[in-house]
């Protein structure tokens, strides 16, 4: 029996090597998916998916893992991805839903929703860290995918810039927490503000540090959000032409993940 030829990933291809190898095997449209905000204890979780064009047009100068870029570089690359991508999509999961369904469940559901919202159907999917089931195309979960595959790095920039912009807006609506600076991650300044002011409705009450200062640390995980912190309507966000944006609501729940997982800043520094 003949075995199929091996897929060779050329090291000199750098961030684009994996996608180019897949394209040589006939997978023309390779989608990447990633999220921002897993480690934050306030604000939404944001997932994004992107398909970059083949060849030189898909090569974006300076593209890298969003956590390794300066804010100015992220903004520039975000706009480059939006203008060049064959398709992209962004999904926003409000803090309330993270509390109700669990972080890991929401993370996978949001990436699944973003991939399903792409206007160009992918032939292959690369995801950062976690495999996403329920897709009708082959895929691969790549450890530190935003440092290995260009399409995943592009998705990471879309997700992070979208979320950072939202956190700046929330800083105006909920002053005193410093959301514009730390973007909802657990810094010394954020911890001090939580202790002094208590949590606002944009905090994730299922996270142990928020539950502790809210006086609800003895409540079951999914019951930690007090009734007066719930929303009547889901968040609505706009998206530039050419992409899609949505709120990851209404998908079937899965078994909840442990409370407080990944409660550190992405990358450990900011």
What does the pLDDT look like over 48-80, one tens digit per residue?
A: 999 999 988 889 999 887 888 899 999 999 999
Comparing 26-35, 153-162, 206-215, 223-232, which segment has the lowest mean pLDDT? Answer: 223-232
pTM reported for the whole predicted model: 0.81
* Number of domains composing the chain: 1
- The C-alpha atoms of residue 28 and residue 115 are separated, in whole angstroms, by 16
- 154's CB contacts (< 8 A; 6+ apart) are 32, 50, 52, 60, 63, 77, 81, 85, 88
- The C-alpha atoms of residue 57 and residue 263 are separated, in whole angstroms, by 37
User: Within a domain: residue 184?
Assistant: no
Closest CA to 157 of 15, 21, 41: 15
User: Within a domain: residue 21?
Assistant: yes
Strand-by-strand arrangement of the 45-51 sheet: 139-142, 124-128, 30-36, 45-51, 87-93, 243-247
- The C-alpha atoms of residue 26 and residue 24 are separated, in whole angstroms, by 5
Distances (CA, A) of 136 to 19, 46, 48, 132, 171: 19, 23, 18, 11, 40
- The C-alpha atoms of residue 10 and residue 27 are separated, in whole angstroms, by 17
Percent of all residues in the chain with a pLDDT value above 70, rounded to a whole number: 77
Angle, alpha carbons 84-75-79 (nearest 5°): 20
pLDDT digits (tens, 9 = 90+) for 182-210: 999 999 999 999 999 999 999 999 999 99
User: Within a domain: residue 155?
Assistant: yes
User: Within a domain: residue 180?
Assistant: no
Ligand-binding annotation for 128, yes or no, is yes
Domain that residue 134 falls in: 11-166
User: Within a domain: residue 246?
Assistant: no
Ligand-binding annotation for 35, yes or no, is yes
Distances (CA, A) of 236 to 6, 22, 93, 136, 233: 45, 36, 10, 28, 9
35: domain CATH number is: 3.30.420.10
Tokens of 205: 């009450």
User: Within a domain: residue 148?
Assistant: yes
Is residue 7 over pLDDT 50?
A: yes
């Amino acid at each position: 029996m003949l075995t199929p030829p091996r897929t060779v990933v050329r090291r000199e291809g750098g961030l684009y090597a994996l996608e180019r190898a897949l394209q040589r095997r006939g997978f023309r449209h390779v989608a990447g998916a990633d999220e921002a905000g897993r480690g934050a204890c306030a604000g939404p979780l944001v997932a994004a998916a992107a398909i970059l064009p083949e060849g030189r047009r898909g090569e974006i100068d300076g593209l890298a893992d969003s956590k390794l870029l300066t804010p100015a570089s992220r903004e520039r690359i975000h706009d480059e991805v939006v203008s060049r991508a064959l398709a992209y999509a962004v999904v926003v999961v409000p803090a309330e839903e993270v509390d109700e369904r669990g972080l890991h469940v929401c993370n996978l559901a949001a990436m699944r929703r973003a991939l399903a919202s792409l206007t160009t159907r992918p032939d292959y999917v690369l995801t950062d860290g976690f495999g996403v089931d329920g897709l009708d195309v082959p895929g691969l979960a790549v450890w530190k995918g935003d440092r290995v595959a260009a399409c995943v790095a592009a998705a990471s920039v879309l997700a992070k810039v979208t979320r950072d912009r939202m956190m700046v807006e929330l800083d105006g609506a909920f002053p005193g927490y410093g959301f514009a600076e730390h973007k909802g991650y657990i810094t010394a300044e954020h911890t001090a503000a939580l202790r002094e002011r208590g949590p606002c409705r944009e905090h994730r009450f299922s996270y142990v540090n928020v539950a502790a200062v809210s006086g609800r640390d003895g409540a079951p995980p999914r019951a930690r959000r007090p009734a007066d912190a719930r929303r009547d309507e889901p968040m609505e966000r706009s998206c530039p032409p050419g992409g899609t944006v949505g709120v990851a609501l209404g998908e079937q729940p899965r078994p909840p993940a442990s409370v407080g997982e990944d409660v550190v800043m992405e990358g450990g520094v900011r």
